[in-house]
Structure 1
Amino acid sequence: MSPNRALLRHPAGWIATGFGSGFAPKASGTVGSLAALLPWWFLRELPPWAYLAVCAGFFALSVWAAQWVIDQIRVDDPGLVVADEWVGLWLTLFLLPDGLHWIAIGFAVFRVFDILKPWPVSWADQKLHGGFGSMLDDALAGVYGWLTVSALVALSSRGL
């Protein structure tokens, strides 16, 4: 077992790596985001307050888990930590209407904001460290994603 895979011996390792999806050899953020769609499929059935409570709870739990992984491997914001992608994508897909095209649009919009990191996402990425910093930049990208997708949904409902 590789040293990083040994992280899976602890619950924090499972949480931080998106239940192992962060071990993808390439594009771990994209793979982690894809893995986040499975639990989202069930989360989307929750009332809005419960959905946001799950997002907030998973964010808090993931801050702890990401910090644990960072402490183990001594790398700040390691690529194998993808719990941040989970929260960010879930925020982007909040109150999303039905339709595979909306899921694809939401996924793409989140990945663009996560990769390009407009302000304040870039500020959080550069200035905040540890588990909280690892989580916050993607949560902010998720809020940008939600605002963008919500605007696209509103425009499409008006036939624009």
Structure 2
Amino acid sequence: MDKPLKFNLKRPHQFFALGFGTGLAPKAPGTVGTLAALPFIFATMALPIWFQVSLAILMTIFGVWICGKTARDVDVHDHPAIVWDEVVGFYITMIGAAISWQSLLVGFALFRFFDIAKPGPIRMLDKKLHGGRGIMADDVLAGIFSLICIQALFKTGVLGG
């Protein structure tokens, strides 16, 4: 018989790793968990790019620890409920973007595409790295790919801003 998972939102590292509880959504926890990035995006959208990049780096370093520890707690590498990596990936996507419902929707769709499809180097990172680094790395790279795409859409005028 499988041992029951030991998620506990009262444990701070699990609270964050589970995207403030959004990762416990019964359907599409990664997609729901991605939305937990919105408070970070809205809180920092008017701040300088250097601050947004610094915060993304700190969130990534923090994520390596909390995601790795939570995965060890439940003895499952990259359990679908662990969504801090999605939070960070979507946050990275929106760094420096002019925030509107259109840019958020496009950024969300781009990030989810790269996170799910895992093209080329994203797939390689997903397969080669383990623990907290492995959980975080593919989503950080998916966020960077999405950031490049959304900025290109702004530069070409496809997205207003």
TM range (shorter): over 0.9
Q: What are the superposed Cα offsets for residues 112-157 of structure 1, whole Å, 9 maximum, x if unpaired?
A: 0001001111011111111110001000000000011111111116
Residue of structure 1 in register with 2:81 after alignment: 80
Task: Please provide the CA RMSD for this pair.
Answer: 1.7
For the Cα contact (< 8 Å) 1:77–1:129, is it kept in 2?
A: no
Task: Give the aligned residue type for 1:83.
Answer: W
Tell me the distance in 1 between the aligned counterparts of 2:159 and 2:54.
Answer: 31
Tell me the distance in 1 between the aligned counterparts of 2:86 and 2:12.
Answer: 18
Tell me the distance in 1 between the aligned counterparts of 2:32 and 2:67.
Answer: 17
Q: How does 1:4-153 map to 2 (within 5 A)?
A: 4=5, 6-153=7-154
Tell me the distance in 1 between the aligned counterparts of 2:158 and 2:81.
Answer: 38
Helix, strand or coil: the match of 2:120? coil
Contiguous gaps of at least 5 residues in structure 1: none
Q: Percent identity?
A: 38
**TM-score (normalizing by structure 2):** 0.92
What is the CA-CA distance between 1:45 and the residue it aligns to? 2.2
**TM-score (normalizing by structure 1):** 0.92
Helix, strand or coil: the match of 1:97? coil
Task: Give the aligned residue type for 1:9.
Answer: K
Tell me the distance in 1 between the aligned counterparts of 2:159 and 2:99.
Answer: 17
What is the CA-CA distance between 1:62 and the residue it aligns to? 1.1
For the Cα contact (< 8 Å) 1:93–1:106, is it kept in 2?
A: yes
Tell me the distance in 1 between the aligned counterparts of 2:73 and 2:119.
Answer: 30
What is the CA-CA distance between 1:5 and the residue it aligns to? 6.2
Report the number of matched residues.
157
Task: Give the aligned residue type for 1:113.
Answer: F
Q: What are the superposed Cα offsets for residues 37-94 of structure 1, whole Å, 9 maximum, x if unpaired?
A: 1221112122111111111111111111011111111111111110000111011111
Tell me the distance in 2 between the aligned counterparts of 1:131 and 1:143.
Answer: 18
